[in-house]
Amino acid sequence: MLPKRKEFFDLLAAHSERVEAGANALLRLVSSLGISTQEVAALVEEINMNESSSDKIKADMITLLHKAFVTPLNRDQVYQLTIDIDRIMNTVQDVAMAVSDYNIAEASKASHELAAMTVDACSRLARALASLNDNARSQETMNLCREIERIEEKSVAVMYQAIKALYDAEGDDVAAMRALRMQELYALQEKVLRASKKAAQSLEGILLQTA
């Protein structure tokens, strides 16, 4: 089988677009907390649909890699990048399910900030993968990867400051339970950004090998 070079890049771009859509839905979900339970439920379902679509694209890429005699990029690196992209979407879904399962009724400033950072990172990843097939834009692609890494580094500080604030505040047992739930939510949100950083690093590896 000799697939067209474009097929690989199209699948990577489509995969990152699903992740970007999921990240945008997550930001809207966080913004809807305490305002509309119906909107929250609809956005959880939207994220689930994007995750299902992401799984389908991952499966299509693995099939293509398995059948292709020649690949435009290192086969193992494309596989790893595909897994990394899928992990982002899976973790976005984990955040959405945590909001639902933990009955989180309102968004904190930190949760909203982490959700906005997720959108920033995922939109940069989508832009980076959209330009991967253009060697003339390799520096632009590399710069986007480094921006994602910087966003993740900032998110760690946001997460730890938010968790510290939870335990600095005094409260009853209900407040303590909420603190535990919010800590888990913050950790999951940062995990999305960590997964984005991992995908960016995998993409950097591809860029360095093809330079």
All domains of the chain in start order, with CATH? 5-210 (1.20.58.220)
The confidence score (pLDDT) of residue 36 equals 79
State how far the Cα of 211 lies from the Cα of 201, in Å rounded to an integer: 15
CB 203 within 8 A of CB 129: yes
pLDDT at position 134 is 85
Q: CA 36 to CA 5: how far, in whole Å?
A: 45
Which one-letter amino acid corresponds to residue 37?
T
Contacts of 160 (CB under 8 A, 6+ apart): none
How confident is the model at residue 68, as a pLDDT?
A: 84
pTM for the complete prediction?
Answer: 0.92
Q: How do residues 41-77 score in pLDDT, each as one tens digit?
A: 999 999 999 999 999 999 999 999 998 888 888 999 9
In degrees, to the nearest 5, what angle opens at C-alpha 80 toward C-alphas 78 and 81?
Answer: 65
User: How confident is the model at residue 2, as a pLDDT?
Assistant: 42
Q: Which residues of the chain have pLDDT under 50?
A: 1-2
